[in-house]
């Protein structure tokens, strides 16, 4: 437990430095300290995914923010989640959970395919909202603060939930890959316009999509978080092959202290979480997707 608290204190100190320097020249360096940066292996994985031929999906019905909210509310009710779901004009992402308020925010300008609705429900409600609500019920409140490496772990777990639900696509993996590349270019260029134009020209991206991608990585002055989704997913997939992931749902956990988390759960010091769906590793049934996932090193 001493090690767990030491890691939490160090993690919070770095997070305070990050938040205190938003909009300054120091922000990017504190982002590197808190989130790190993509490794050569991460960049290689991203480029591998981006070299694959995109799948051509049959055209799906597109839902607006209000329709998406209705779907999310129905899913939350089915899962018995006591949370709020609202539109927002202040977020860059299509949807995100506000942990403090147990609130799912949906971008008012976003549109979703039916498959995306399914994926976001598992990602945002099935993982992020569940770990938020579970953390609030724990006698040890540290699980609500965020253990060391919790972003890497929680985002990896959330992407893995999309895989478990059958809603993960190559297109989605390629978006995660582009985030890795965008973070790398942000660190290399330190120039919003140059990063934007490089993404458009090198990967033939839609300009609106490229702008959103670039905005994400330049938030606050240079935000490196986005590369963690792909590496987190890779690490969670590997972990799921050898042990249960259920105890990662006790709160905002991290792989660094997963052994300690398992111990405090087994000793009854925190409430054992109950997943809303099976998190055990199994092939998705899509042979091509399974091969691609196993090729991420």
pLDDT > 80? residue 108:
yes
pLDDT > 80? residue 34:
yes
pTM above 0.75, yes or no: yes
Range of the domain at 150: 2-294
Residue 70 C-alpha from the chain's centroid: 22
State the total domains in the chain.
1
Give the span between the Cα atoms of 128 and 17, in whole angstroms: 24
The pLDDT mean for the chain works out to: 95
Q: What is the 3-state secondary structure (H, E, C) of 192-214?
A: HHHHHHHHHHHHCCCHHHHHHHH
pLDDT grade for 90, boundaries at 50, 70 and 90: very high
pLDDT grade for 1, boundaries at 50, 70 and 90: confident
SS3 at position 107: strand
Which of the pair, 95 or 59, is modelled with greater confidence?
A: 95
- What pLDDT is stored for residue 56 in this prediction? 63
pLDDT grade for 285, boundaries at 50, 70 and 90: confident
- Tokens for 72, please give them: 């999310």
- What pLDDT is stored for residue 61 in this prediction? 86
pLDDT > 80? residue 55:
no
- What pLDDT is stored for residue 283 in this prediction? 87
Give the span between the Cα atoms of 229 and 175, in whole angstroms: 10
Give the span between the Cα atoms of 280 and 161, in whole angstroms: 10
Give the span between the Cα atoms of 144 and 132, in whole angstroms: 7
- What pLDDT is stored for residue 58 in this prediction? 59
pLDDT > 80? residue 162:
yes
Give the span between the Cα atoms of 228 and 37, in whole angstroms: 9
Give the span between the Cα atoms of 78 and 26, in whole angstroms: 44
pLDDT > 80? residue 207:
yes
A 10 A CB-CB count for 125 gives 25
Give the span between the Cα atoms of 269 and 267, in whole angstroms: 6
SS3 at position 2: helix
A 10 A CB-CB count for 53 gives 6
- What pLDDT is stored for residue 92 in this prediction? 86
Q: Which of 76-80, 140-144, 281-285 has the highest mean pLDDT?
A: 76-80
pLDDT (average), residues 69-76:
98
pLDDT grade for 57, boundaries at 50, 70 and 90: low
Give the span between the Cα atoms of 203 and 175, in whole angstroms: 11
Of 114, 98, 102, 103, the closest CA to residue 64 belongs to: 114
Report which secondary-structure segment, H or E, holds 63: strand 62-63
Of 10, 42, 24, 20, the closest CA to residue 222 belongs to: 24
pLDDT (average), residues 76-105:
95
pLDDT (average), residues 263-292:
94
Strands (E), 78-208: 84-88, 95-98, 103-107, 112-113
pLDDT (average), residues 63-89:
97
- The pLDDT > 90 percentage for the chain reads 92
């Amino acid at each position: 437990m001493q090690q767990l608290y030491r890691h939490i204190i160090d993690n919070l100190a770095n997070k305070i430095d990050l938040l205190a320097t938003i909009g300054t020249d120091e922000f990017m360096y504190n982002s590197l300290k808190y989130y790190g940066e993509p490794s050569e292996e991460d960049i290689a994985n991203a480029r591998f995914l981006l070299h694959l031929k995109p799948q051509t999906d049959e055209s799906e019905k597109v839902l607006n923010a209000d329709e998406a909210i209705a779907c999310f509310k129905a899913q939350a009710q089915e899962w018995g989640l006591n949370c709020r779901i609202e539109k927002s004009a202040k977020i860059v992402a299509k949807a995100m959970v506000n942990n403090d308020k147990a609130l799912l925010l949906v971008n008012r300008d976003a549109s979703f395919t039916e498959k995306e609705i399914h994926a976001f429900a598992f990602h945002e409600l099935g993982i992020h909202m569940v770990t938020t609500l579970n953390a609030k019920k724990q006698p040890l409140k540290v699980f609500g603060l965020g253990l060391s490496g919790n972003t890497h772990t929680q985002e990896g777990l959330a992407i893995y939930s999309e895989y478990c639900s059958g809603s993960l696509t190559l297109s989605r993996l390629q978006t995660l890959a582009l985030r890795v590349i965008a973070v790398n270019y942000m660190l290399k260029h330190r120039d919003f316009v140059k990063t934007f134009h490089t993404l458009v020209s090198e990967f033939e991206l839609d300009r609106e999509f490229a702008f959103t991608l670039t905005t994400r990585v330049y938030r606050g002055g240079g935000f490196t978080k986005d590369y963690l989704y792909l590496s987190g997913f890779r690490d969670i997939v590997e972990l799921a092959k050898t042990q249960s992931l259920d105890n990662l749902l006790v709160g905002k956990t991290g792989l660094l202290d997963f052994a300690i988390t398992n111990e405090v759960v087994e000793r009854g010091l925190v409430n054992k979480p109950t997943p809303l769906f099976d998190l055990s590793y199994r092939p998705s049934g899509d042979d091509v997707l399974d091969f691609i996932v196993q090729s991420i090193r």
